[in-house]
Structure formats: C-alpha cells, structure tokens
C-alpha cells in the first residue's frame, strides 16, 4: 500500500480580500502553496502529489515545485470537492484503490512535519482513515437571522476539522462521487465518507495548522512558520 497527496489549490479566496488567490500570497517571500507542498514533499512515504489548479491560473507554473518530479497538476473544478475528484481521477492511473490519499488544503501552510508523520502512523492500519483536528476551546453559539444568539451549542465533543484528511483512494472517490450525485455538497472529504456511512477517526493535531482565510491570518502564519524554524 502506497501514500499519495492531493492538494486542492483552485479556489479564489475572496474572504482574504487580496487581489490574488490566497494560495499564492507570499509568506517570507514564498507562496502559501509552496510552504504547504514543502511539508508534503518532506514526508518520504508520500510517492506523489497532485495539485488541482484553476484552468485559467497563470501563477502555478512560476511556483517552486511546479516542475518537481513528484508533482503533477490537474484542472480544478467549481467547488473544492470537484477539484479533489479531478485529482483522484488522475491518481487512479497510477495508484491502487487501497492506496492512501492525504488531501491537504493549499491554504494550510503551517502543517507540522511531525503532525503529518504522526497521522500516517496512527491511521495506516485503520479500516477507514481520518482527519487531523483539534478540540474546540471557545464557547460556540448558533446565530438567528437577526445576528443574535439563538442558542449555545454544547462544546463537549466538538472539534475543528483540519487537513490532511487521509482515506483510501477507492472509498474516497466513491464517497465524494455519490454525495455529489445525490446533490449533497461536501466541504471536506470526511463528510463524504460519513455520507456513505463510515466513521472517520479524529487525530489530534496542533492549532497552528490554520487555513489562510482572513487578512489577519497572514502575519499569524508567518509567526507560526518562524516558531517551527521554517
């Protein structure tokens, strides 16, 4: 059984408010996407990485790992799950249905090398797979339409779902395709597996594995990268 990675990098990133997609914003002079790929390529057990980029994307070819022998590009789709499905379709040419695929957001550059390795160690013998996550520590509120608090959500047992999300190629592809065909738009891979009745495992990671989403995330990501000595 082999390990592969898929990196959805075809989003426009409107919430960050920058003129270029967030995966190409610079962190210490290198694109967010390059930092994310650096960690995946730094894990020797990962045989290859498929990056999904927008078909009109002009920037990908100028990035650090565009010509790396382990990296291949595929066209992204309208939603994240379409981008992932396109990448999985390409992977089926070289990977087996039981091979593991780690899907990692291009916009999560602060993934720790040690969390990635620990996740593979924890899940490689698991029948289903799972995701990196951290327990919620803030009190959670459900809003009403007026922007007031409708109720307080019980925090106990709530986790933030991060990436990588690690599943076997065959079941992952089937789960995402089935959810989409049924009109259920999944926002992560685990929800696809849940949709077909599987119970993915939560692997506790670190809270610095943030997804670049808002303008204030960029200086925070640089702080975390420095803390990790990167």
By CB under 6 A, residue 35 contacts ligand C5P = no
The one segment of 4-12, 61-69, 148-156, 219-227 that binds ligand C5P by CB under 6 A:
4-12
Among residues 3, 4, 6, 9, the one that binds ligand C5P under rule CB under 6 A = 9
| Site map (CB under 6 A) of ligand C5P, residues 190-219, x = contact | ---------------------x-x------
CB-nearer residue toward ligand C5P: 176 or 197? 176
Residue 171 touches ligand C5P, criterion: CB under 6 A: no
Q: How far apart are CA 155 and CA 165, in angstroms?
A: 22
137 in contact with ligand C5P (CB under 6 A): no
Per CB under 6 A, 78 contacts ligand C5P: yes
Distance, CA of 103 to CA of 168 (rounded, Å): 11
Q: What angle in degrees, to the nearest 10, is found between the helix axes of 32-41 and 113-123?
A: 50
SS3 99: coil
**Number of residues in contact with ligand C5P, rule: CB under 6 A?**
17
Q: Which of 61, 69, 21 is nearest to 41 (CA)?
A: 69
Q: Quote the CA–CA distance of 84 and 5 in Å, as a whole number.
A: 10
DSSP class per residue in 202-227: EEE--TT-----STTHHHHHHHHHHH
Measured from the CB atom, is 43 or 217 closer to ligand C5P?
Answer: 217
Tell me which stretch binds ligand C5P (CB under 6 A): 60-68, 73-81, 142-150, 198-206: 73-81
Alpha carbon distance, N-terminus to C-terminus of the chain: 31
State the residues that interact with ligand C5P by CB under 6 A: 8-11, 23, 52, 76-80, 83, 105-107, 211, 213
């Amino acid at each position: 059984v082999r390990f592969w990675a898929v990196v959805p990098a075809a989003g426009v990133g409107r919430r960050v408010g920058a003129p270029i997609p967030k995966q190409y914003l610079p962190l210490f002079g290198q694109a967010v996407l390059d930092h994310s790929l650096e960690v995946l390529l730094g894990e020797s057990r990962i045989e290859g990485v498929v990056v999904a980029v927008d078909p009109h994307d002009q920037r990908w070819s100028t990035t650090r790992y565009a010509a790396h022998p382990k990296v291949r590009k595929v066209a992204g789709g309208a939603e994240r799950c379409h981008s992932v499905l396109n990448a999985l379709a390409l992977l089926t040419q070289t990977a087996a249905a039981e091979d593991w695929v780690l899907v990692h957001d291009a916009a999560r550059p602060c993934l720790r090398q040690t969390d990635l390795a620990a996740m593979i160690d924890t899940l490689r013998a698991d029948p289903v797979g799972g995701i990196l996550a951290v327990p919620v520590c803030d009190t959670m509120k459900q809003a009403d339409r007026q922007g007031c608090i409708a109720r307080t959500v019980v925090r106990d047992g709530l986790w933030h779902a991060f990436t990588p999300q690690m599943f076997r190629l065959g079941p992952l592809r089937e789960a995402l395709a089935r959810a989409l065909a049924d009109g259920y738009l999944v926002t992560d891979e685990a929800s696809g597996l849940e949709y077909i009745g599987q119970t993915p495992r939560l692997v506790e990671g670190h809270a610095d594995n943030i997804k670049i989403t808002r303008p204030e995330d960029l200086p925070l990501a640089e702080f975390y990268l420095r803390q990790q000595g990167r």
